[in-house]
Structure formats: C-alpha cells, structure tokens
C-alpha cells in the first residue's frame, strides 16, 4: 500500500521541523478533521515511520529496520522507477553487484528484458527475479539466510563479494544523514555494502527520498564514496549534499 500524498507531506514536514509535530499543527495545516489526521498518524505509526507521543508524533529512534513486508510496499512506485532508471544505465556484458534491500530488488525486476549481464548478489529476491532472464548469469553468495530480510549475510557472503571487481556496484542504505552519512542497521549489512563500494568501478546508490534523515545506528560510508545517487525526488538539501560530495544525482 502506497503512502498518501498527505502522509508523504507529513513525513517531510516532520523531518524539517526537527523531528516532532503536534496533531493540532497538522490539523490546521491540512485543513482536515482531527479524525482524518489521527487516521494518517496511526497508519504511519503502524508502519514504523513515526512514533506517537502525547498530542502528536515524532521521528522514531530506530536500532533495527522496518519489517521486510512493510519495506516492500512503502514507496513502491518510486522504487520501481529507480529500478528502471538504473537498469537503463547498464550496458550489455557488464558485471554488477546487487546489494540487499527492496530497492535493489526492484533493479533486478527491471532487468527482465536486459540483453545480458553477470550479476553477483546476496539478495534472494533479486536472484529469483533474475532467473526469468536467461541472458543474465547470476552468482549467489553463500552465507546465513536472514528469513526476516530474505537475504544472505555473514563473513562467507562478504568474502565472496570481495573476490570480484565489477563494473557497477548497486546498493541501498538504511538511512542518509544530514551530512551525507550512509547508515545501516547492523555491522553485517555495513560490511557487505563496504565490499560493494570497494570492489566496483562505478558505485550507484539507490534510495528513495524517505531515507533522508532516517536514523540507523551503523555508519557505513558517505555520499562521497559513491559516484551516482539515483532517487525519486531531488530536494534542495539532497542537491546540496550531492554537490558537496562531488557525485551525480539523478531522478
């Protein structure tokens, strides 16, 4: 289920307001009833995107990611567009990494008609999607399966990625900090993303705009460690971060 336009605006305003808003502010700003705002806030809270507090909401303190099922449906159209944009960049015969998460999964889904690639991944859903294209050779890492995230993790997975030097490394993040910090939810996730960053000729970050200012506890890298950031919406803040990092920003 996609977020409504009003819910997207609520999240954007919440971040701009320093992480906390009252229900009355929201009711006045959107000219809707208290019941309507309460329904929006309850839905956002159920998805783990906000935390309900007395009289309003605040940004949650995340030390773990949202459920995989929730991430699969949040901003799905945006993730599909990101996937299609990245798929169009990949020339026939290229070698690529595909990292964990639902946005790299949408990159894989967009490769259904690609003329030919070699893909190395620990993303089980990406590997299953790529099975539908016989022109793509897919190499799947070993490692420990995370049922909650439908991927392979651990030292075996990281070591496997480090055996390659690929043309394009495509990866997502748990959160993007105000200074361009790329954040993940566990050291294992961070190690895998670092392996992609360090063993790719061109590094492509894929993340929808909801990741901006989203908290995650492990610092993996910075925007300057990437070459291209593909997202669904360019805000002035993101444009400034990309310029400071010296990377290309693409919608």
Task: Delimit the domains of the chain by residue range.
Answer: 5-58, 69-250
- Residue 148 contacts by C-beta under 8 Å, 6 or more apart in sequence? 67, 68
Nearest to 158 by CA among 185, 180, 187, 183: 187
Contact in structure between 187 and 216 (CB atoms under 8 Å)? no
> What CATH architecture does domain 5-58 belong to?
Orthogonal Bundle (1.10)
Rg (CA), the chain: 18
| pLDDT at residue 60 in the model | 73
| pLDDT at residue 214 in the model | 82
Q: Would you state the structure tokens that stand for residue 57, as one six-digit string? A: 């909401």
| pLDDT at residue 5 in the model | 85
Per-residue pLDDT of the chain (251 residues; tens, 9 = 90+): 577 889 888 887 887 777 789 999 999 999 999 999 999 999 888 877 888 988 899 877 655 555 555 555 467 888 999 999 999 999 999 999 999 999 999 999 999 999 999 999 999 999 999 999 999 999 999 999 999 889 999 999 999 999 999 999 999 999 999 999 999 999 999 999 999 999 999 999 999 888 888 888 999 999 999 999 999 988 888 899 999 999 999 98
Which CATH code is given to the segment(s) 69-250? Answer: 3.40.50.1360
DSSP state of 130: H
pTM comes to 0.78
Q: Would you state the structure tokens that stand for residue 4, as one six-digit string? A: 């409504």
| pLDDT at residue 1 in the model | 56
| pLDDT at residue 67 in the model | 52
| pLDDT at residue 146 in the model | 93
CA angle 122, 106, 85 (to 5 degrees): 120
Q: Bridge-partner residues for 83, per DSSP?
A: none
| pLDDT at residue 155 in the model | 96
């Amino acid at each position: 289920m996609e977020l409504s336009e009003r819910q997207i605006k609520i999240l954007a305003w919440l971040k701009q307001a320093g992480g906390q808003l009252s229900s009355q502010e929201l009711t006045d700003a959107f000219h809707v009833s208290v019941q309507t705002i309460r329904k929006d806030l309850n839905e956002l809270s159920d998805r783990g995107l906000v935390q309900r507090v007395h009289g309003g909401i605040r940004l949650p303190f995340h030390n773990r990611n949202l459920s995989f099922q929730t991430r699969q449906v949040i901003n799905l159209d945006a993730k599909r567009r990101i996937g299609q944009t990245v798929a169009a960049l990949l020339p026939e015969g290229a070698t690529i990494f595909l990292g964990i998460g639902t946005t790299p999964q949408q990159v894989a889904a967009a490769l259904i008609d690609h003329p030919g690639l070699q893909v190395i991944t620990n993303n089980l859903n990406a590997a299953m999607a790529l099975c539908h294209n016989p022109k793509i050779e897919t190499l799947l890492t070993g490692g420990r399966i995370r049922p909650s995230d439908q991927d392979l993790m651990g030292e075996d997975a990281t070591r496997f990625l480090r055996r390659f030097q690929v043309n394009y490394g495509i990866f997502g993040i748990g959160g993007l900090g105000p200074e361009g910090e790329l954040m993940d939810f566990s050291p294992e996730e961070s190690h895998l993303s670092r392996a992609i960053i360090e063993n790719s000729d061109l590094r492509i970050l894929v993340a929808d705009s909801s990741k901006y200012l989203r908290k995650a506890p492990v610092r993996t890298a910075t925007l300057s460690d990437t070459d291209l950031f593909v997202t669904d919406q360019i805000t002035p803040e993101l444009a400034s971060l990309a310029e400071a990092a010296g990377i290309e920003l693409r919608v």
